[in-house]
């Protein structure tokens, strides 16, 4: 049974407890084995109400503000990113496109299984020749009678091969650029769908990643979630995913800060704890400044969103700040842990490896900067001219 949560502090405290007691002890092993959490563990997260916080009650969710889902992602993200990823994906990933833009029938068909943890849904946007330039994608779904036939290749798909369903951004009409792009849902077992070998990424090791190949994959027209022509709406909802991504970076930065605060008070050199050295204090302050600044930007964007969509300018500010903060703060943490920071035992290098992954996923900080200036000036900067 899904528990209803209406209080931010209460759900944050519950998430922190479950994450610490049940998922922190397995986090290092999942990283070493490059293994996602099991379906049973995911179902457990669903039973606790963690996977449907930001989905409507009518479809099994809690209908709560996005801030509550982000609080849970953050608590898990501090100690076990493979578990946090499942909460991130369910609450802020492609299922949000279904929640915001799908028909009642589509929501009824797909959302309850995401909320319970019975199924997972991945998002497939990137292609070998379309990363930052996402609108250069060539994967296409062509209408054939009552069905669509998809051909193409998707790259870097998190949960690729593991997820049960894929929300595939692709060309649904011959219109050029973004005008021809929409989104269609493909079930994993559809004939013609196959996956590349699991990527051996620097971080993200408990989160599978693979290419997806579409070879005449035929799906019913009822699976079209967003038709061609609604690209701006589709990317409007992607702001929710970017805020989830922002939160993973904040979790990583906070965890690095927490571990460092503990370490510099315990470790002694020259006859006194490291924290007594002024230059160490300055570095600690720098870490806190950056973590808190990123959190405030994230909180503002989440507050604007409420139970709806966040403002894309606020999200780009938050994502860019948080992604870069997590890389810098984990780097300082490694420095302050000395040789111990460079071992797997202390978990600092894992935080640093994961920080780099979150900064690339969901649009790089450079691309966020382009969006920020575009919003500031109220004009588009065509990257092709």
Ligand X SMILES: Cc1cc2nc3c(=O)[nH]c(=O)nc-3n(C[C@H](O)[C@H](O)[C@H](O)COP(=O)(O)OP(=O)(O)OC[C@H]3O[C@@H](n4cnc5c(N)ncnc54)[C@H](O)[C@@H]3O)c2cc1C
Interface residues toward ligand X, by CB under 6 A: 122-126, 131-132, 156-158, 201, 204, 357, 360-361, 363-364, 366-367, 383
Nearer to ligand X, 204 or 263 (CB): 204
- CA–CA distances in Å: residue 20 to residues 6, 27, 75, 240: 22, 10, 9, 26
Nearer to ligand X, 68 or 165 (CB): 165
Nearer to ligand X, 294 or 320 (CB): 320
Query: How far, in Å, CA of 361 to CA of 345, rounded?
Result: 26
- Extract the tokens encoding 45: 């997260």
Nearer to ligand X, 3 or 32 (CB): 32
Q: Cβ 261 to ligand X, closest distance in Å?
A: 28
Contact 311, 235 (CB under 8 A): no
The three-class DSSP label of residue 278 is helix
Nearest position to ligand X, beta carbon: 131
Nearer to ligand X, 255 or 284 (CB): 255
Q: Cβ 157 to ligand X, closest distance in Å?
A: 5
- CA–CA distances in Å: residue 216 to residues 143, 190, 227: 12, 10, 19
Query: How far, in Å, CA of 183 to CA of 167, rounded?
Result: 6
Q: Cβ 219 to ligand X, closest distance in Å?
A: 18
Q: Cβ 314 to ligand X, closest distance in Å?
A: 20
Q: Cβ 234 to ligand X, closest distance in Å?
A: 13
Q: Cβ 28 to ligand X, closest distance in Å?
A: 19
Residues 347-351: contacts with CB within 8 Å, 24+ apart? 347/27, 347/28, 347/255, 347/259, 348/256, 348/259, 350/27, 350/28, 350/31, 350/203, 351/252, 351/255, 351/256, 351/326
Question: DSSP labels for 3-19?
Answer: PP---HHHHHHHHHHHI
- Extract the tokens encoding 360: 């690339």
Q: Cβ 105 to ligand X, closest distance in Å?
A: 26
Say what angle helices 348-360 and 312-336 make with each other, to 10 degrees.
Answer: 150
For residue 195, report the phi and psi dihedrals to the nearest 5 degrees.
Answer: -125, 150
**Residue 295 C-beta-side C-alpha neighbours within 13 Å:** 13
Nearer to ligand X, 157 or 301 (CB): 157
Nearer to ligand X, 60 or 357 (CB): 357
Nearer to ligand X, 207 or 297 (CB): 207
Q: Cβ 80 to ligand X, closest distance in Å?
A: 17
Burial of 90 (0-12, 13-18, 19+ CB in 10 A): buried
């Amino acid at each position: 049974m899904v528990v209803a949560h209406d209080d931010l502090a209460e759900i944050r405290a519950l998430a922190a407890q479950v994450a610490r007691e049940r998922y922190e002890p397995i986090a290092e092993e999942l990283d070493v084995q490059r293994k996602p959490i099991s379906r049973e563990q995911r179902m457990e997260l669903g039973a606790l109400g963690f996977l449907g916080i930001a989905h409507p009650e009518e479809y099994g969710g809690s209908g709560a503000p996005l801030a509550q889902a982000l609080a849970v992602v953050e608590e898990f993200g501090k100690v076990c990113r493979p578990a946090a990823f499942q909460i991130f994906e369910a609450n802020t990933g492609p299922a949000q496109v279904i929640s915001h833009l799908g028909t009642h029938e589509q929501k009824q068909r797909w959302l309850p299984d995401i909320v319970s943890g019975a199924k997972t849904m991945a998002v497939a946007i990137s292609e070998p020749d379309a990363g930052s330039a996402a609108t250069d994608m060539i994967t296409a779904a062509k209408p054939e009678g009552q069905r669509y036939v998809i051909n193409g290749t998707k790259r870097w798909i998190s949960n690729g091969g593991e997820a049960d369903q894929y929300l595939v951004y692709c060309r649904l009409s011959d219109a050029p650029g973004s005008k021809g792009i929409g989104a269609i849902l493909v079930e994993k077992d559809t004939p013609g769908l196959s996956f590349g070998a699991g990527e051996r990424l620097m971080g993200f090791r408990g989160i599978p990643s693979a290419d997806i190949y579409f070879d005449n994959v035929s799906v019913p027209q009822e699976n079209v979630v967003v038709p061609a022509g609604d690209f701006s709406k589709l990317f409007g909802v992607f702001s929710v995913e970017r805020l989830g991504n922002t939160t993973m970076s904040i979790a990583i930065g906070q965890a690095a800060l927490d571990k460092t605060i503990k370490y510099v008070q315990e470790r002694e050199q020259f006859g006194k704890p490291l924290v007594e050295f002024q230059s160490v204090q300055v570095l600690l302050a720098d870490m806190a400044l950056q973590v808190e600044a990123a959190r405030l930007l994230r909180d503002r964007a989440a507050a604007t969103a409420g139970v709806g969509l966040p403002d894309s300018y606020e999200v780009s500010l938050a994502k860019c700040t948080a992604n870069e903060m997590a890389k810098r703060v984990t780097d300082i943490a490694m420095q302050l842990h000395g040789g111990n920071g460079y071992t797997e035992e202390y978990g600092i290098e894992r935080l640093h490896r994961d920080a780099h992954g979150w900064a690339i996923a969901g649009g790089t900080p450079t691309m966020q900067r382009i969006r920020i200036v575009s919003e500031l000036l109220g004009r588009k900067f065509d990257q092709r001219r």
